[in-house]
Amino acid sequence: MSFKELPIMKEQNKGVLLFYPYVSKKSAGNIKEKLAGRWLGQGPSVDKFENDFRKKFCKNQAVVATGSGTDSLHLAYILAGLKPGDEVITTVFTCTATNIPLLYMGIKIKFADIERDTMNISIKSVKKLITKKTKAIVCVHYGGLPCEMNDLLKISKKNNLVLIEDAAHAIGAKYSGKSIGSIGDFTTFSFQAIKHFTTGDGGMLTIKNKKLENKAKRIRWFGIDRKGKQKGTWKNDVHEIGYKYQMTDIAATMGIDSLREFKKIITHRKKIYKVYLKEFSNNNKVKCIHDNDKKKEHGAWLFTICVKNKDFIQKKLREHKIETNQVHFRNDKYSIFKKFVKGKKFPNMDYLENKYLVLPLHHKVSLTDAKFISMLVNKYAK
């Protein structure tokens, strides 16, 4: 049986779902209070959420809250100065949201292969793809495990390239002691429902060059200077093409509450992650998508295993009311990217394509659940 034949599992009292949104118990009351006030759209709560996020993860960066992680990515690509015909190196394995905004802009996508151990972008592959037309590198920290940032920074500096991090999986992750969000030229985050914490939907963009902050906030709102407008200066010229990419105060309220509880959220997720690592450590039939690089601190969004009989294990876990899936798929198989992959080969992606499986990892998963899931995987792995 293929995973495609398994529908999304219904929520029930018994069983373990693959994802479950974390919402602070305080948010219901705080949102009710927000609904009784003046600001429902972008207002003071968005400003506070941006400030709180900056203090926690990226003190020296400009921070811009958006309506989604995809909005943040598109903003980053615009602010990076990408133009039609430019080449951008990106990973073949990610949510399509990473790469679809490049299509909006007429960018030539150069897909890089991934590393077998981490499913992150392959440094060797990146180096081979650089040409005189290359303008940027986009990396994705798969599952919450940071990419090889030292190598990517060196490559970017040597070739005068913009480094953009898609950190949709990696809030709370660190590399060499630095929080993801404070390293590359631009970093984007996602607060979609199944992420570490959610604002219902939403995103964040962090920017190394603080001079770009005002431009980012104009583009976020139709190209309009909202600060000037709120001061009573209504006759503002619009000289940039903008979008409706703002976050609402309702979403920001959820974000503020969850940020306060983020330590609790990620501590539990890391405990589950470590249980899986321990339980699979003596089984050579189960490969964990993980490395032991001490420079990296995992964000613990996904726990992914690599097994030869992936479909069989998924079927047996579902019989025990445990939901699993692959979550993301290789982008080169989608028709919208067809013209960028003709004649291209991705041997590591080929090797992993039918072997990787994501196990449940969230606040509703107990240590007992994780041990039981591990026991079943170890039992059925061949």
- For 243, other C-beta atoms within 10 Å of its C-beta total 17
For 111-136, the pLDDT digits (tens) are: 999 999 999 999 999 999 999 999 99
At which of 225, 243, 260 does a domain end?
Answer: 260
Q: How large is the average pLDDT for residues 53-61?
A: 96
Are residues 41 and 172 part of one domain? yes
Q: What pLDDT, on the 0 to 100 scale, is given for residue 231?
A: 61
Q: Is there a single domain that holds both residue 169 and residue 183?
A: yes
Residues 218 and 109 in one domain: yes
The three state secondary structure string of the chain is CCHHHCCCCCCCCCCECCCCCCCCCCHHHHHHHHHCCCCCCCCHHHHHHHHHHHHHHCCCCEEEEECCHHHHHHHHHHHCCCCCCCEEEEECECCHHHCHHHHHCCCEEEEECECCCCCCECHHHHHHHCCCCEEEEEEECHHHCCCCHHHHHHHHHHCCCEEEEECCCCCCCEECCEECCCCCCEEEEECCCCCCCCCCCCEEEEECCHHHHHHHHHHHECCCCHHHHHCCCCCCCCCCCCCECCCCHHHHHHHHHHHHCHHHHHHHHHHHHHHHHHHHCCCCCCEECCCCCCCEECCCCCEEEECCCHHHHHHHHHHCCECCECCCCEHHHCHHHHHHCCCCCCHHHHHHCCCEEEECCCCCCCHHHHHHHHHHHHHHCC
Q: What is the pLDDT of residues 258-308, one digit of tens each?
A: 999 999 999 999 999 999 999 999 999 999 999 999 999 999 999 999 999
> Domain boundary residue among 238, 260, 282?
260
The pLDDT confidence band at residue 229, using thresholds 50, 70 and 90, is low
Is the model more confident about 319 or about 234?
319
Query: Same domain, yes or no, for 173 and 320?
Result: no
pLDDT bracket for residue 225 (50, 70, 90): confident
Residue 227 confidence (pLDDT): 73
The pLDDT of 310-330, averaged and rounded, is: 97
Residue 141, pLDDT above cutoff 60 = yes
Q: Which amino acid is at 118?
A: T
pLDDT of residue 1: 37
* Residue 238 pLDDT grade (very low, low, confident, very high; cuts 50, 70, 90): confident
CATH number at residue 131: 3.40.640.10
Domain that holds residue 104: 27-260
Give me the CATH number covering residue 352.
3.90.1150.10
- Single-letter residue type at 146: P
| pLDDT at 206 exceeding the cut of 90 | yes
Q: How confident is the model at residue 3 (pLDDT cuts 50, 70, 90)?
A: very low
Q: What is the mean pLDDT of the chain?
A: 95
Asked if 231 and 302 sit in the same domain, the reply is: no
pLDDT of 143 higher than 60: yes
* Proportion of the chain above pLDDT 90, given as a percent: 91
- Contacts of 50-56 with C-beta under 8 Å, sequence gap 24+, read 50/204, 52/256, 52/259, 53/204, 53/255, 53/259, 54/206, 56/179, 56/259, 56/262
Q: How far is the first Cα of the chain from the last one, in angstroms, to the nearest whole number? A: 16
Which tens digits make up the pLDDT trace of 187-205? 999 999 999 889 999 999 9
316 and 350 belong to one structural domain? yes
The confidence score (pLDDT) of residue 237 equals 81
pLDDT at 184: 97
Contacts of 225 (CB under 8 A, 6+ apart): 214, 218, 233, 236
Among 225, 260, 295, residue at a domain's last position:
260
The answer to whether residue 2 scores a pLDDT higher than 50 is: no
Whether residue 222 is found in the same domain as residue 364: no
In whole angstroms, give the CA distance from residue 309 to residue 286. 10
Q: What pairing do the DSSP bridges indicate for beta strands 174-175 and 203-207?
A: unpaired
Whether 223 and 269 map to the same domain: the answer is no
pLDDT score of 4 more than 60: no
| 249 and 274, same domain (yes or no) | no
Q: Are residues 106 and 240 in the same domain?
A: yes
Q: Is the pTM of this model over 0.85?
A: yes
2 or 24: whose pLDDT is higher?
Answer: 24
Q: Is the confidence at residue 44, as pLDDT, over 80?
A: yes
Number of domains in the chain: 2
Give the pLDDT of residue 13.
62
Q: Determine the residue type at 2.
A: S
Are 245 and 147 members of one domain?
yes
* 266 and 253 share one domain: no
Mean pLDDT of 206-230: 90
Mean pLDDT of 102-114: 98
